[in-house]
Structure 1
Amino acid sequence: MQIASGPADGQWRAREADRLPCSSWLAQFYGRRHGALLGSGTAALELALRQLGVTATWRVAVPAATCHQVVAAVLNAGAVPVIIEHAAELLLSSESLAPHVNGLDAVIAVHQYGLPCDIPALRRLLGERLPIIEDSAGAWDLCSPGASRVVTSLGHGKALDIGGGGALFGDTPVDGDIDVWSPGQRCRSSPASSSALSIHALPALMPAVAMAQARSQRLRQQMSGLLARLRDYGLEPWTGEGSAAPNWQFIPIRTRELQLFERLRYSPHAEALGVCAPAPGALRELPMLRGRGEVAQGPEASLELRRNWILLDPLAALDHPRRLAAWAGGYR
């Protein structure tokens, strides 16, 4: 995919006036026409909720497999987070959400680990009334129809990494509530709620987009061979349904036996390959949730099922094929 044309000099100048065209330029990569650049991904999610009309009575569905900052954003907006358990699966699905739809006011759909959450299926389940916020912090080059707003983080380790910040995207202007200093601040009918991304961070966006595009292109070219190699080793990499291709921030590998999970997780080659594992039940144990959130129980899962995913860094696996063979080859 070609990068859309930017300013004539190839760089965004660090002036307040550049923030709006820069955000609009970035919005096209997320399938939207308008954008807003903020101080963090959490702030972007809070702003999305406020623009959708959040109140203290709102109950907002949050998938159990996601970052704790998603829960923090819902709490900061004054709403009630409802943690949707989805057993051994990594993404929120219409099947896991369906029993809990009644009483919900919004849904946050997360492209966790760069895997495509089936937002069109969620939209069919919810109808047109309930808003869906698409969280693309872990994904690049995934645009799903059906979401009311799209948010992302620009922090370290995210799909689009400039070291910090966040963004909000929509099909109508979304930057009206950002706290950018101007004499007009004194005339607001309501206080500004979210701080803008520093103007000094704007020049970092174009190189970050170029890196994200290059990574995505490399993975599109080489991922099929890597997945085939993992299957040849007897492993079971994640496979999804639908037409959207994963962005592969990580490759999830299902381990149906606890012994295999432990061997892969604690292999001497694991660190070099970026191997880690999701923490089961991490959101439900957050102290910030006590008395302020709900957990919507899903299908019961044994310890082996709840801890059955290993996450592998695809670039590390491609760059170190011998380590990959040593890590995985003995576990047929």
Structure 2
Amino acid sequence: MSDVTPPEPIYVTRPHLPPLAEVTRLLEGVWERRILTNGGPLHQQLEEELAAYLGVEHLALVANGTLALLIALKALRLQGEVITTPFSFVATSEALSWNGLEPVFADIDPHTYGLDPASIEACITPRTTAILPVHCYGFPCDVEAIQRIADDYNLKVIYDAAHAFGVECHCGSLLQHGDLSVLSFHATKVFNTFEGGAIICPDAKTKKRIDRLKNFGFVDEVTVAANGINAKMSELHAAVGLAQLPGIDAAIAERQRVAEAYRDQLTDLPGLLLPEFGQAQRANYAYFPVRITDQAPLDRDQLVERLRAEGIVPRRYFHPLIPEFQYYRSNASADPKRYPVAAQMGREVLCLPIYPELSSADLQRICRAVRAAITGSSPDQP
């Protein structure tokens, strides 16, 4: 038996944690006040600080990103069909189904990975009431074209911005677009509160409605005015968020360091297409999606197996596509011929590991393994 200890596996992401001492300091106040939830002082403080950081006026915190989507859709009182993307995490469509809405899958743009405006327009029927695009990987959708379509057909627009924390476009915060935008603060996201999420609201009236919906629909102690749900963020999760926020710019800068290292070292490999982050005025480097095209000597799934053999665990985001899951196969729009670009991306895209603490040594290890798999060289070569 070999005495050589195999290297630690490198996963696609690793949760970024705030200083424990700062979380502890904030929790001491929670223990003193004994206010654990229901919009306590840390919850209120985090709403204010996040709104200021993100460049938005109104932000409602919730317990997770999926609840944020559920409530956002409920707040707009939608019915019928909602045009959305097949190329996303399944929660995007599940939020529609839970609200009794029918997802209609349109195709995506191969550069932004967001909904293709032309495909959106082709999917509109008399039953269409809204569009639910995703700022996939934090890359901005074509927000102006989508808004023009929405205005022309009198549709609502709800952005799943789970990947887009801190991203800025030509006019400031990307989160200002649409009727509502939804964030996730899951452990794997750029900014996390362990679990959490938020809804970006255009005005105080909308925020008030959302705040009621996330608290069972209560207006006051004796009045329930809406069919609400319990989606409140606790003080513990708010404490984590408050401790995270001062270091978020440094964390994003470290993500950029990783992205630039990949671009420097993987730029000349045949059949490997690297992402372009210049679509945003300010990117957050949430993911590093590469495409393995038919010009490469191996396909995406073969590359995954080669990397896993070296202890590197990338992810095929997004595979399978949402319409390929059993629950959605009977959907009327679940036909790959309707979304050929998304189907192609589902076969080609692979997300390489990226997180602030990814060391230079591990970066080199990943790059050597990718290069070796594509060129046929040894992963041990520098």
Name the TM-score class by shorter chain. 0.7 to 0.9
Q: Does structure 1 conserve the Cα–Cα contact (< 8 Å) formed by 2:291 and 2:350?
A: yes
Q: Which residue of 1 aligns with 2:285?
A: 248
TM-fit CA distance, 1:221? 5.1
Name the Cα RMSD after superposition: 3.2
- CA 1:150–1:218 in structure 2 vs 1: closer, same or farther (change >3 Å)? same
Q: Which residue of 1 aligns with 2:195?
A: 164
For 1:137, give the aligned amino acid: A
Q: Which residue of 1 aligns with 2:371?
A: 329
For 1:248, give the aligned amino acid: Y
Q: Which residue of 2 aligns with 1:266?
A: 305
- CA 1:236–1:318 in structure 2 vs 1: closer, same or farther (change >3 Å)? farther
The CA distance in 2 between the partners of 1:271 and 1:130, in whole Å, is 48
The CA distance in 2 between the partners of 1:119 and 1:31, in whole Å, is 17
- CA 1:187–1:271 in structure 2 vs 1: closer, same or farther (change >3 Å)? farther
> Percent of aligned pairs with the same residue?
18
From 221, 229, 236, give the equivalent of 1:200: 236
From 108, 114, 121, give the equivalent of 2:138: 114
- What are the residue-to-residue correspondences of 1:158-237 with 2, within 5 Å? 158-173=189-204, 174=207, 175-179=211-215, 184-220=220-256, 223-234=259-270, 235-237=272-274
The CA distance in 2 between the partners of 1:140 and 1:102, in whole Å, is 32
- What are the residue-to-residue correspondences of 1:19-58 with 2, within 5 Å? 19-55=43-79, 57=80
Pick which of 157-166 and 176-185 moved more: 176-185
The CA distance in 2 between the partners of 1:305 and 1:184, in whole Å, is 49
From 334, 348, 355, give the equivalent of 1:308: 348
TM-fit CA distance, 1:20? 3.1
Pick which of 61-70 and 99-108 moved more: 99-108
Matched residue SS, 1:164: coil
- CA 1:182–1:110 in structure 2 vs 1: closer, same or farther (change >3 Å)? closer
TM-fit CA distance, 1:25? 2.2
TM-score w.r.t. the length of structure 2 is: 0.73
- CA 1:189–1:305 in structure 2 vs 1: closer, same or farther (change >3 Å)? closer
Gaps of 5+ in 1: 1-9
TM-fit CA distance, 1:196? 0.7
The CA distance in 1 between the partners of 2:65 and 2:280, in whole Å, is 27
Q: Does structure 1 conserve the Cα–Cα contact (< 8 Å) formed by 2:218 and 2:226?
A: no
Q: Which residue of 1 aligns with 2:95?
A: 73
TM-fit CA distance, 1:116? 2.5
Q: Does structure 1 conserve the Cα–Cα contact (< 8 Å) formed by 2:183 and 2:199?
A: yes
The CA distance in 2 between the partners of 1:220 and 1:91, in whole Å, is 21
Matched residue SS, 1:266: helix
The CA distance in 2 between the partners of 1:92 and 1:118, in whole Å, is 8
- CA 1:99–1:304 in structure 2 vs 1: closer, same or farther (change >3 Å)? closer
For 2:224, give the aligned amino acid: R
- CA 1:209–1:284 in structure 2 vs 1: closer, same or farther (change >3 Å)? same
The CA distance in 2 between the partners of 1:47 and 1:147, in whole Å, is 15
TM-score w.r.t. the length of structure 1 is: 0.82
Q: Does structure 1 conserve the Cα–Cα contact (< 8 Å) formed by 2:84 and 2:105?
A: yes
Q: Does structure 1 conserve the Cα–Cα contact (< 8 Å) formed by 2:104 and 2:123?
A: no
Aligned positions, number: 322
* 1:104-152 Cα distance to aligned partner (Å, 9 max, x none): 2111221222322232332133327322222222232113243211111
TM-fit CA distance, 1:252? 1.2
The CA distance in 2 between the partners of 1:70 and 1:287, in whole Å, is 16
The CA distance in 2 between the partners of 1:290 and 1:305, in whole Å, is 19
Matched residue SS, 1:314: coil
Q: Does structure 2 conserve the Cα–Cα contact (< 8 Å) formed by 1:230 and 1:236?
A: no
Q: Does structure 2 conserve the Cα–Cα contact (< 8 Å) formed by 1:39 and 1:198?
A: yes
Q: Which residue of 1 aligns with 2:165?
A: 140
- CA 1:317–1:108 in structure 2 vs 1: closer, same or farther (change >3 Å)? farther
From 91, 104, 109, give the equivalent of 2:114: 91
TM-fit CA distance, 1:240? 6.2
For 1:158, give the aligned amino acid: K
- CA 1:268–1:42 in structure 2 vs 1: closer, same or farther (change >3 Å)? closer
Q: Which residue of 1 aligns with 2:338?
A: 298
TM-fit CA distance, 1:265? 1.2
* 1:42-78 Cα distance to aligned partner (Å, 9 max, x none): 11111111221223x3x11221111111212112222
For 2:163, give the aligned amino acid: G
Q: Does structure 1 conserve the Cα–Cα contact (< 8 Å) formed by 2:88 and 2:318?
A: no
